[in-house]
Structure 1
Amino acid sequence: MSSIQYLETIKAFDGELYNLKYHQRRLDETVKNSNIILKDVLTPPLAGLFRCRVIYDGRNYEVTYHPYKKKNIKTLKLVFDDDISYSKKYYERNSIDALVRQKYSCDDILIVKNGLVTDTSIANIAFKYKNNWITPKKPLLDGTTRARLLESHKILEEDISIKDLENFTQVALMNAMIDFDIIQNENIREIIC
């Protein structure tokens, strides 16, 4: 494989692959003229919940399957980095891993770039305001679940500043494995540490 590698993480449950068209679209946008057709190269286990990992560079790929156990995220530490960039889902995540080391006793981080909320280290995020779920307009990574929920109008995009956080009533994380997962705590001040 080339020196730059990318990653797709796809949910597989009892042999079924979830949201494959969104993963294929991101793969195709990440590496132009790729010869990788996900539906043709994936053969997930027929029983159980698995995280299918596809590491690729456009021409070559490696597929592995790992039993999945959801992380229990209840608290998020605000971390600030105006220079971070993660517009493609790179296999190497050194800049994000460095920020994760700042989480201290919290379960994960909430990354703030140029005064705006972006993502956690493992998921896109959404906040409930009145009857709407709002996701940051400028995430670090345009996740596949986020893209699907935006297309179906289940979430809306807006710029979200740190000051806006006090106006929200709930928090949800979203990624390929957990879909749209609401953190069960009505007090957002207890979630953001």
Structure 2
Amino acid sequence: MFDQLFQESLIYLPDFQANAAPSSLICELVESLCLIDGEVLRWPFHLARMQAACQALVWRDVSKELPKHWATASAQMPEDCRQGRTMARIVYGAEGIRSITFRSYSPRLVRSLRLVEANHVDYALKSTNRRAIMECFDQRNGCDDVLMVRDKCFTDTSIANIALWHEQQRRWYTPARPLLRGTHRAFLLRTGTIFEDSALTLDRLSEFSRIRLFNAMLAWGEIELPMVALLPLTAH
């Protein structure tokens, strides 16, 4: 199985290379995979992102260790994780894969988003250190989550990429420079479901009527809000 997945992942490798920058401060990364009834969704995209991250950090390609580690971990998967929606969390570093854990997953209810200025946030690689993002999340001021704004452009919520529905063009647009290039985002771009826009700025809010949140664990369309659910900007 993995031989075919690794071959396919090479196709998607460029999708994750543009934002990946080396940093001596990053020592541990994570991949969160969605399993439905035990089957992993979008495996090749996750492998491609791991490969791109290892290249950026000049680590050896730890994704090559996955077949052995996955076989061991999945054999010990809790029974309640073998049905329904499950999150698999792969933690890895320069020396290799550190852990693979599973837990049943239920999405968090999101009905409102606080706009938060996040010019200081750099999350191009999916690090286990989310301190800067959580500092933004703590500014939600009664909302369910935040939508971070960097250089006057929309980026991501604390857990998800976003897409905005353009009424006139009848298309979903996603920021061309998100904080993190998500695996589900890459899949939706590849399938022509969403389109990149490099200028999704605050002054264009009136062009859009709806916003969708999505990540590896969330299905496309599972969380959709009217634009009035975005509440005013909070400066950091």
Answer yes or no: same fold by TM over 0.5.
yes
Contact persistence 2:213–2:224 (CA under 8 A): no
How many Å apart are 1:46 and its aligned residue? Answer: 2.7
Contact persistence 2:62–2:92 (CA under 8 A): no
Change (3 A) 1:39 1:154: farther
Instruction: Look at both structures and tell me which one has the larger radius of gyration over its CA atoms.
Output: 2
How many Å apart are 1:3 and its aligned residue? Answer: 6.7
Structure 1: gaps spanning 5 or more residues = none
Moved over 6 A (4+): none
Change (3 A) 1:60 1:123: same
Q: For the residues of structure 2 that align with 1:50 and 1:25, how far apart are their CA atoms?
A: 21
Q: For the residues of structure 1 that align with 2:216 and 2:26, how far apart are their CA atoms?
A: 25
Q: What is residue 188 of structure 2 aligned with on the other side?
A: 149
Contact persistence 1:119–1:140 (CA under 8 A): yes
Q: What is residue 167 of structure 1 aligned with on the other side?
A: 207
Change (3 A) 1:182 1:129: farther
Q: What is residue 175 of structure 2 aligned with on the other side?
A: 136
Q: For the residues of structure 2 that align with 1:147 and 1:161, how far apart are their CA atoms?
A: 21
Asked if 1:57 is matched to 2:93, the reply is yes
RMSD: 1.7
Q: For the residues of structure 1 that align with 2:202 and 2:26, how far apart are their CA atoms?
A: 36
Asked if 1:71 is matched to 2:99, the reply is no
Match of residue 34, structure 1, among 37, 61, 75: 61
Q: What is residue 46 of structure 1 aligned with on the other side?
A: 82
Q: For the residues of structure 2 that align with 1:84 and 1:155, how far apart are their CA atoms?
A: 24
Contact persistence 2:90–2:97 (CA under 8 A): no
Change (3 A) 1:81 1:46: closer
Contact persistence 1:171–1:182 (CA under 8 A): no
How many Å apart are 1:61 and its aligned residue? Answer: 2.3
Amino acid at match of 1:61: R
Secondary structure of 1:31's match?
helix
Q: For the residues of structure 1 that align with 2:36 and 2:158, how far apart are their CA atoms?
A: 24
Q: What is residue 93 of structure 1 aligned with on the other side?
A: 130
Q: For the residues of structure 2 that align with 1:153 and 1:95, how far apart are their CA atoms?
A: 32
Secondary structure of 1:9's match?
strand
Q: For the residues of structure 2 that align with 1:39 and 1:126, how far apart are their CA atoms?
A: 34
How many Å apart are 1:93 and its aligned residue? Answer: 0.3
How many Å apart are 1:122 and its aligned residue? Answer: 0.2
How many Å apart are 1:81 and its aligned residue? Answer: 1.9
How many Å apart are 1:179 and its aligned residue? Answer: 2.7
Q: For the residues of structure 1 that align with 2:183 and 2:26, how far apart are their CA atoms?
A: 24
**Sequence identity percentage:** 29
Secondary structure of 2:220's match?
strand
Amino acid at match of 2:28: Q
Change (3 A) 1:47 1:183: closer
Total equivalences in the alignment: 190
Q: For the residues of structure 1 that align with 2:223 and 2:131, how far apart are their CA atoms?
A: 27
